[in-house]
């Protein structure tokens, strides 16, 4: 069966929207340091860390799933061309923009040499240091490079690789946003799990119908351990339990959305369509926008109270999510197909 005949899976498409919204929340929902005296910083940090952090797992799972699902008529030339044009090219362009923004003033002020600035650019490109979320692009590009090899693995062997892939992240080797071997040990298995799920989707879907309650219990227990280990400072256990929580929630969301495959939402589809563009752009200008937003309200005593300020912070996140989507749609309208090379959509 060719890729053109494969049914379009709206529930996977909508799962992509869910994933990118979670990722944006992780990066946007923060109390500015100058407002820490209000006392909400620990609460927001805890919610963000224990509910939303680690949402990269959702993104990676979907990537692995779709890679296998659309691989029946695989063309390696087309595959790498698309990844370069629609992922690498926007990443390189935006990274160059940030490098010029930071290094040109330093060069003009003679605070560094041309070699120093070039070194910054190279580190930004290969380690994803231009913005906090960009570590993912060098990581996923490496995964894209080896993905065709994964298709060559015999199904029986791949089954054992998938079993191993479920266990490896429990070692808790994630290294925050640093691109390390531990990062690959933690995240690459999730991509393989996505592939394995696509290979055996009907069987797994049938199993999920029967396993909802155990999955919900696993989700709740791992969330409790994640919260406890975060509070007690046990990083390795925290990251391990976070993985268990997010991967169990992945299958719960997958089942929930598949049961509603006939549901259609233009708004959710828009978030899915622009997911990579949202990933590239959602933190641009964040510090200035955050300061401007809170400055509008903090002269009003009512908003200095904890509950109103907490609600204010949630509204800010929602506004930023929709504003970033609006910006991406506007860029697409202005540039047409060329926008894919600039923002990835």
What are the residue boundaries of the structural domains of the chain, listed by start? 3-341
Neighbours of 327 (CB within 10 A): 18
- Residue-by-residue pLDDT tens, the chain, 345 positions: 444 578 899 999 999 999 999 999 999 999 888 888 888 889 999 999 999 999 999 999 999 999 999 988 888 999 999 999 899 999 999 999 888 888 777 777 777 788 888 888 888 888 888 888 999 999 999 999 999 999 999 999 999 999 999 999 999 999 888 889 999 999 999 999 999 999 999 999 999 999 999 999 999 999 999 999 988 888 899 999 999 999 999 999 999 999 999 999 999 999 999 999 999 999 988 888 998 898 888 778 777 788 888 999 999 999 999 999 999 999 999 998 888 888 888
This prediction's pTM: 0.91
């Amino acid at each position: 069966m060719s890729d053109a005949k494969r049914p379009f899976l709206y529930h996977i498409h909508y799962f992509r929207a869910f994933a990118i919204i979670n990722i944006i929340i992780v990066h946007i929902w923060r109390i500015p340091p100058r407002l820490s005296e209000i006392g909400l910083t620990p609460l927001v940090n805890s919610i963000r860390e224990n509910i939303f952090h680690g949402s990269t797992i959702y993104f990676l799972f979907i990537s692995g799933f779709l890679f296998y699902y659309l691989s029946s008529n695989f063309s390696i030339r087309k595959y790498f061309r698309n990844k370069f044009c629609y992922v690498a090219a926007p990443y390189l362009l935006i990274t160059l923009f940030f490098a010029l923004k930071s290094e040109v003033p330093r060069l003009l002020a003679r605070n560094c040499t041309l070699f120093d600035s070039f070194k910054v650019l190279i580190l930004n490109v290969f380690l994803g240091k231009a913005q906090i979320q960009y570590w993912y692009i060098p990581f996923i590009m490496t995964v894209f490079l080896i993905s065709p090899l994964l298709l060559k693995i015999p199904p029986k062997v791949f089954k054992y690789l998938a079993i191993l892939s479920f266990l490896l992240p429990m070692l808790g080797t994630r290294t925050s946003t640093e691109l390390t071997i531990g990062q690959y040990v933690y995240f690459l298995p999730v991509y393989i799990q996505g592939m394995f799920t696509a290979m055996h989707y009907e069987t797994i879907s049938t199993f999920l119908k029967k396993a909802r309650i155990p999955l919900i219990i696993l989700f709740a227990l791992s969330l409790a351990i994640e919260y406890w280990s975060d509070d007690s400072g046990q990083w390795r256990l925290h990251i391990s339990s976070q993985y268990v929580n997010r991967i169990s929630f992945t299958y719960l969301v997958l089942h929930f959305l598949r049961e509603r495959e006939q549901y259609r939402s233009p708004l959710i589809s828009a978030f899915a369509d622009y997911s990579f563009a949202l990933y590239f752009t959602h933190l641009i200008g964040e510090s200035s926008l955050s300061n401007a937003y809170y400055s509008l309200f903090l002269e009003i005593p009512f908003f200095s109270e904890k509950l109103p300020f907490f609600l204010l912070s949630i509204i800010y996140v929602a506004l930023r999510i929709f504003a970033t989507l609006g910006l991406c749609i506007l860029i697409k309208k202005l540039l047409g197909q060329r926008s894919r090379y600039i923002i990835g959509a």
